[in-house]
Amino acid sequence: MLQATAAARVVCLIVICWCTAPRGAESAIGVNWGILSFHKLKPSIVVHLLKDNKISKVKLFDADPDCIQALMGSGIQVMLGIPNEMLPLFSSSTDASDLWVRRNVSRYVVKNGVDIRYIAVGNEPFLSSYSGQFQSYVMPALLNLQQSLAKVNLASYVKLVVPFNIYPFLSLYGSSDFPQEYAFFEGTSHSVTDGSNVYNNAFDGNFDTLVAALGKLGYGQMPIVIGEVGWPTDGAISANLTAAKTFNQGLIKHVLSNKGTPLRPGVPPVDVYLFGLLDEGAKSTLPGTFERHWGIFSFDGQAKYPLNLGLGSKRLINARNVEYLPSRWSQMQNERSCDFDGIGMVTFLDPSMGDCRFLVGVTDTSSSSSCVSQLHQRSLILWIWIFISWRVWIFVT
């Protein structure tokens, strides 16, 4: 379920806030915590990672009980997600929306509980690749959920938002004509002029496209939260560490400057959630292999490049107390043998060289109990290395 929506996810996603948040306030940087990983970091380690990096806002794609529980008492503000597949149910049943709100929201929004502030209703339900299949459910689901929140006196505390999207990285990925500089924030010789407004980066241009569309419908003042924005580090020509660092650092500086855009001068987005916190190795690669490389941290919570989130700590702080599986790798005798029928040779020497890191999984009780998922993982990682190198090593977990 999540997999399908994640597959369709794109670089930058805008959420329209179904609310009247104060305008002109300073925006804050948050992160998306996705969990489509074969070996998930323990939620408690992730929450410590957030706190060490002074990240005070996090967005989840679902209402995963382990993640929610780990956030208890952390003081971190949380956006929960409702998968698109649940929209038909909530559009037709107030009992279902009442139950979801009671079980997943109101029981946690208590003293020393979880500070749930937003609920994302669907994940890009209007994406054109869904051919409108979720469209008619969004409004009724919103209304039912709003009533469910009212019943537990949370209607003004917890805001409902609907995710939309725009595409700076994919614009570049999909079109070699797209001026590369326009995707970044470093000034450009390819500015776009719209009447009296001049745009120097795709982010502002896309943002104002939404502002203009909302204005036409009479909602020109509606607060906007950036639900997802980021740049991957691998899996495409324009995806690398330097580009990701340049884009994310430029974005953070731009947003925190409170400059706003030509249509909203001095009014930056309410909040901006980077996509994403961690690499997610189990994401569908249907849109491209870059899908598994969006993290500012690798799957095990290690910073991939220097980044100042503008939150007080000038550099990223790595996850602590990560428990790894034993360090063992096996070497393939020849690259054509891509099954495990005794052709592997176990080595205890880490074959990592320079930037090429041979990863060791983290302990994860939920996946290590399943042979099937381990096998699946092994064949997957095997395939990756086969493409990468003649001298193939297989990662053994």
Ligand X SMILES: *[C@@H]1O[C@H](CO)[C@@H](O)[C@H](O)[C@H]1NC(C)=O
DSSP letter (8 states) at residue 11: S
Q: Minimum distance between the CB of residue 99 and ligand X, rounded to whole angstroms? A: 4
Report the residue number, 62 or 291, with the smaller CB distance to ligand X.
62
Interface of this chain with ligand X, residues 118 to 177, rule: CB under 6 A: none
Q: Considering beta carbons, is residue 16 or 243 the nearer one to ligand X? A: 243
Query: Per rule CB under 6 A, is residue 63 in the interface with ligand X?
Result: yes
Query: Nearer to ligand X by C-beta: 180 or 333?
Result: 180
Taking the complex as a whole, the smallest distance from the CB of residue 387 to ligand X amounts, in Å, to 17
Binding to ligand X, residues 80-99 (CB under 6 A): 99
Given 37, 200, 201, 238, the residue binding ligand X (CB under 6 A) = 238
The distance of closest approach from Cβ of residue 326 to ligand X in the complex, given in angstroms and rounded to an integer, is 34
Binding segment (CB under 6 A) for ligand X, from list 162-170, 235-243, 268-276, 337-345: 235-243
User: What's the closest the beta carbon of residue 343 comes to ligand X, in angstroms?
Assistant: 34
Q: How far is the CB of 314 from ligand X (least distance, A)?
A: 24
* Distance of closest approach, residue 242 Cβ to ligand X, in angstroms: 5
Q: Pick the catalytic residue from 228, 291, 323, 335.
A: 228
Query: What's the chain look like in SS3?
Result: CHHHHHHCCCCEEEEEECCCCCCCCCCEEEEEECCCCCCCCCHHHHHHHHHHCCCCEEEECCCCHHHHHHCCCCCCEEEEEECHHHHHHHHHCHHHHHHHHHHHHHCCCCCCCCEEEEEEECCCCCCHHHCCCCHHHHHHHHHHHHHHHHHCCCCCCCEEEEEEEECHHHHHHHCCCCCHHHHCCCCCCCCEEECCEEECCHHHHHHHHHHHHHHHCCCCCCCEEEEEECCCCCCECCECHHHHHHHHHHHHHHHHCCCEECCEECCCCCEEEECCCECCCCCCCCCCHHHHCCCCECCCCCECCCCCCCCCCCCCCCCCCCCECCCCEEEECCCCCCCCCCCEEEECCCCCECCECCCCCECCHHHHCCHHHHHHHHHHHHHHHHHHCCCCEEECC
Q: Which residue's Cβ has the minimum distance to ligand X?
A: 238
Write each residue from 179 to 218 as x if it is in contact with ligand X (CB under 6 A), else as -, in one continuous string. Answer: -x--------------------------------------
Say whether residue 100 binds ligand X (CB under 6 A): yes
Nearer to ligand X by Cβ, of 235 and 262: the residue is 235
Rounded to an integer, what distance in angstroms lies between the CA atom of residue 197 and that of residue 46? 42
Binding-site size, ligand X (CB under 6 A): 11
Q: Determine, following the binding rule CB under 6 A, whether residue 280 of this chain makes contact with ligand X.
A: no
How many whole angstroms separate alpha carbon 127 and alpha carbon 153? 32
- Residue 313 interacts with ligand X (CB under 6 A): yes or no: no
Catalytic (active site) residue 124: yes
Q: Which of 243, 252, 309, 394 binds ligand X (CB under 6 A)?
A: 243
Asked about 186 being catalytic, the answer comes back as no
Burial class of residue 257 in the structure, from the number of CB atoms within 10 Å of its CB (0-12 exposed, 13-18 middle, 19+ buried): exposed
Which phi and psi angles does 150 have, rounded to 5°? -60, -40
* 242 near ligand X, judged by CB under 6 A: yes
Nearest distance, CB of residue 337 and ligand X, angstroms: 31
104 is a site residue for ligand X (CB under 6 A): yes
Stretch that binds ligand X, among 46-54, 237-245, 297-305, 364-372 (CB under 6 A): 237-245
Task: Candidates 93, 188, 209, 240: give the one binding ligand X (CB under 6 A).
Answer: 240
Q: Of 124, 181, 280, 291, which residue is the catalytic one?
A: 124
Alpha-carbon gap, residue 224 to 267, rounded angstroms: 10
Which parts of this chain interact with ligand X (CB under 6 A)? 62-63, 99-100, 103-104, 180, 238, 240, 242-243
Residues with a catalytic annotation lie at 124, 228
